[in-house]
Structure 1
Amino acid sequence: MKRLVSFLMTAILCVCMVPLLTGCSEPENDYAGWNGNYQDSVLIDDRDLFTETQKRELDEAIQQKSKELEMNILIYVDGTYRSDADTKTFCDQTYDNWFGNDTDGLMYYLDLSGKTPAYDYISTSGKAILLYEENRELIFNHMDNYLPASGQEIKQEQIYDAIEEFLSQLSVNAKSTTSGTSFYHDKNKGTYIYYKHGELYITHKKPLIIWVRIWVVSIIIGLLTALITFLVSKGKYTFKAKTNPSIYLSKDAVNFTQRNDQHIRTYQSRSRISSSSSGGGHRSGGGGHHSGGSHGGGGHHR
């Protein structure tokens, strides 16, 4: 029993030291941040819904919000029909082409094609992924009160007010966090977005919090397995004290007069030493990644 406890304590100690070892190396970071050019944040009116004056007013409102939140903002009013999958691809690629890969910002896509149901989309990048991923659906649900439902008439004033309200919601629903417990996994790129020591990382290396969860679960499973094994073994066998064989012999009946060691067989062990050393194994890379930066976000039907 003492050996079992000693083994388990040693295993737990080794596992607890692994986080310290993995935290020593810094992962490669693709994060590009925000360049401060808030003038790049604009409205794209691909449906020709607004006048030049209205577009200028909305551009000023978007740029003011971009400066306030220190991130890029692109609002795209579209009248072209796209499938849900095409909308996601279009938004991610449009953002990257406009602002660059893995920068801080988002693109809000307004589907005004008249299709039923309409499919709006928010594509996030950089720190905006962690800011809005949790509250993204709250923003969509709130915007349903300002946008026309599928099949309803699209009014210029209504969309104008909706864009202003969306900018307001960006401030209301920003979930500011730099803790190491929050992260996002972009499965398309295979990257993880998280904060480490107050700095944002976009990297293929898993955050420490994932490893901690794995280790905790592994330790619990290991302890339970060891406990069950011990209890089963204890139930099967009855452990008794060792018996002294001398009790079965009479001291007067046994008398050793001579001791002699004689080897009756000789064994030789041989092993072949290869003259050629084996080279290191070659590990092929995984599947290819999509071009462009890492993105969060999602769509919403109305």
Structure 2
Amino acid sequence: MEIRHNVHPTDVKRYTTDELRENFLIQDLFQPNKIKMVYSHVDRMIAGGVCPVEPQPLQVEAGMGVDYFLERREIGIINVGGTGYIDVNGQRYTLNRTDGLYIGKGVKDVVFYSQDSHKPAKFYFNSAPAHATYPTTKIERSSIAGNHLGAITHSNDRTIYKYIHPQGVQSCQLVMGMTALENGNMWNSMPSHTHERRMEVYFYFDLPEEDVVFHLMGQPQETRHIVMRNEEAVISPSWSIHSGVGTHNYTFIWGMAGENQVFDDMDAVAMKDIR
């Protein structure tokens, strides 16, 4: 498990391209038969991925200070690959592409499987500390009523699907969902915002191999960017904006943890103020 320490926004002003990528970018999430994890000291979020050609148990990592992974944590999982299974304390859940699963604090045994080893599942996950237990719940993408936002005139025609949130599948503090951009649309989360009470992780997928996303980050008056490719994630501290523009439309999964779960608790940044 990789460890990423918190950084001060003043320091980020001086970061090189390589330093930005080393601190915030998460790559190589889906390595066959390996669970890739990045532990961020920003709200102690763990982001990771697993591509189980063979069954892969979720195991506690050195330094977590617990006996099993979910002893004091919760986890949200969304499958972005072939059909897969997740066994939770012996109960099996089948996840098709873009289906999700929430697992609450206290679950000891979690095992990931693929239905077809030639078309393996790709389970992307976010995990946050939890002080209360909520039930394990499967989330079918087809059952979520999407919230349509934006317009083609601003190149941000998109639909937001909320998977884990107070009005849907409940959790202790984790909030998680997916945003899909329509064909011909490339911008996300612009006009931008920050939320001092929550950090966020973005995971970009459904992006052609030859295309990229320019993910914008940093303080609103000190913006920086990270060039990202398909199936990569990026850590966004609470002081940072999190917007992006691609050379092709794409989909991204967002996960948040922090002081509250209010989706609209954002500190908006006017277009005239960003620089």
Whether these two folds match at TM > 0.5 is no
**Which has the bigger relative contact order, CA under 8 A and spacing at least 6?**
1
Using structure 1 for the length normalisation, give the TM-score.
0.24
- Indicate the structure with greater strand content: 2
More helix by share: 1
Structure number with greater Rg is: 1
TM-score by length of 2: 0.26
